[in-house]
Amino acid sequence: MRARLALAAALGACVSSDPSGPTELAVQTSGDLALRAWSDGSFALTAAGRTVLAGPAAPLGARSFHETVRSLFGQWTFARTDVAEARPTGTTTATRDGDAMVLRSTGAAVTSTLRFRRVADGDVEVRARVEGAGAFQATVMHFRCDAAARFLGFGEQYNATEHRGRAFPLWPSEQGIGRDPHHPSPFSGNHDTTYFPVPFFLDPRGFGLAVDTDARTEVDLCATNTAEYTLAPEQPEEVVLHLYTGPTVADVMRAWTVLQGRSSAPPAWAVDGVWLGVQGGPAAVRSAVQAARAANVPLAAIWAQDWVGTRDFGVGNVGVRYRWSVDAAQYPDLAGLITELRSGGVRFLGYMNPFLVPEQDLYAPAVAGGFVVTHGDGSPYTFPISVLSGGLVDLTNPAARSWYQGYADAALALGLSGWMQDFGEWLPYDARLSDGSDARRQHARYPQAWHAAARTAMERAHPDGDFVLLTRSGWLREAQTAQVVWAGDQEATWSADDGLPTVIPALVSLGLAGIGYVTEDVAGFSGGPSTKELFLRWVELAAFTPVLRTHEGLQRAQNWAWNRDAETTVHFSRFARVHAALAPRIRALGDEHRATGMPIVRSLPLVFPSDAATYAITDEFMLGDDLLVAPVVTQGATTRAVYLPAGRWFDVWSPDRAFEGGSTVTVDAPIGRPPVFSRTARTDLAAIR
């Protein structure tokens, strides 16, 4: 009998005696990893005795389909017909190959291989390959979904923090102006659209999974089949995954952000004071600076997106010109203005985006130089942007990158300390690129290329790191380039689809995507106009985030502003000083982020992973491990329910008032007193008036 078992183990043969179901193959081990497998292809991978990944019968498939793609205003619709999936149904073996464990399933037409190998502490490389299925478009990976499985992450998400039960695509796109799925418009998005998706999730039990791909990826998180989740990148070649084995969420974040990156810190001034959004030219800038100083606002920077000029988009919406140099009519002596501001300790920040529009000065030289993305026939690829049309700079062309960076260098020479490097999600899937690469794959890489082009110029001009790069888009590895990321173009409303309530899910999910320094537009960008109450509540939220910055929004003449009346100015000044008081803590958390991968703004499960009540919370966040922030995001509310995890919590506005956690409490929350609790008794914020 011993001889038979030894032979079975050596050959990966059947050793189960149960004839009614799949038979178990010999367990394969490598270091702390063990692979149990069965004759139908199902498997369970354990790390140090914990199951970290399991698959059903025939876990890999080859998906083929006919697809029609439509795009409009930076969003894409991928409609599929004739969808079919081939999976092996024959013999399965589990073997060792050096330090790797290999699960191989064969069938009449399809062979699949899963190869597991530990490549670093906490990181298991999983290679998935399907062969013999003829032409197919996507590799589908089926994994078991047990009752306790939870899915945090998938990049920046706005309407949920835990995604079990959802099915959605991962593909950088315009978020959309308005995301109400019941009232769509040509400009609106939906609950799946995001500028910054990432094919990674974290399970708070202490493991995570990333798909190392640039391909559009569809995920189904126990929605179609409650017993399994699927990851399906449009990649017929071998797919590499990274399985993060923990055992804690901190271990997962540390290992995951080796691949994803950890966003670098902006200079201290960018955290210590407010970035005030101002438009209108030198007189408007000087007036805002004077008013801020008179109100005791700790002012760090003026952010003037209109340094490139303004554009009237109609119906009261005012935007900017799509160009990369100063509008001399709007700012006749910008260098002098910047010098004046710097002498008073205030920096000047601007705006750029990658669009090339025929009516502006960049378009003709871009076409002549071959710097614009083209159709297959070589003609410029243009598309509707908003009320105008244009194309994109081709960043796969080194000459085009250098051409853009010449403008970036000139902006820095004027004295700009950085700018918003806007957009990056609009590369057409069927464009022709200078380097011959597949635009469908380059689409996901384009945001990082756009950001890196600016960052390179900034680092040349300021090797000491005294610059700000503000971005919104991204994909896998984006945190290797990103610095400060803002939550995008929320509506200046209370809408749960796209207004103030969506900011918190966006910020905490960016943290899971490796971004330490996050921010948002106070108080929204599109829609509106914003109201006084909305502005006051938005400021209260933003004061507890790494960067406090305002935006005048599209309806700038109608939107409420920090200096619209005396009460608002006092409120804004107070919470700006609250933010300044938190700045040393924020910068220390930024150092922790660079060392460990843990974000500054944290979803509650990162701090309380064993508390299942925290998993789906969308209206609270942690600043580090100590402060729990529960902003008011409902119009008219003066109280709110707050879930406090187990432990003792102190009200930061009345430090002698404490609550025992492990339950939901309802607290008073008038304007000026957003619910914020500390795990340690602190009085520094209560003194700020």
What letter does residue 638 receive in the DSSP assignment? S
Tokens standing for 682? 């602190």
Are residues 500 and 594 in contact, defined by beta-carbon separation less than 8 angstroms? no
Nearest to 419 by CA among 469, 384, 466, 385: 469
Sequence-distant (≥ 6) Cβ neighbours of residue 399 within 8 angstroms: 369, 370, 371
Tokens standing for 191? 């609950």
Q: What are the CA-CA distances from residue 549 to residues 274, 339, 351, 627, 633 (Å)?
A: 6, 22, 14, 21, 18
Tokens standing for 91? 């013999």
Nearest to 685 by CA among 660, 661, 650, 659: 650
Give one word for 569, left, alpha or beta, with left for phi > 0 and alpha for psi -120 to 50: alpha
Separation CA 320–CA 141 (nearest Å): 44
Strand ranges, E, within 364-473: 383-384, 389-392, 418-421, 468-471
User: In 3-state terms, the chain is what percent helix, strand and coil (to 5)?
Assistant: 25, 30, 45
Separation CA 34–CA 56 (nearest Å): 17
Q: How many H helices and E strands in the chain?
A: 12, 38
Tokens standing for 223? 């929605």
Sequence-distant (≥ 6) Cβ neighbours of residue 592 within 8 angstroms: 598, 624
Separation CA 151–CA 166 (nearest Å): 10
Of all helices (H) and strands (E), which one includes residue 604?
helix 604-607
Are residues 259 and 284 in contact, defined by beta-carbon separation less than 8 angstroms? no
- List residues with catalytic annotation: 422, 425, 489
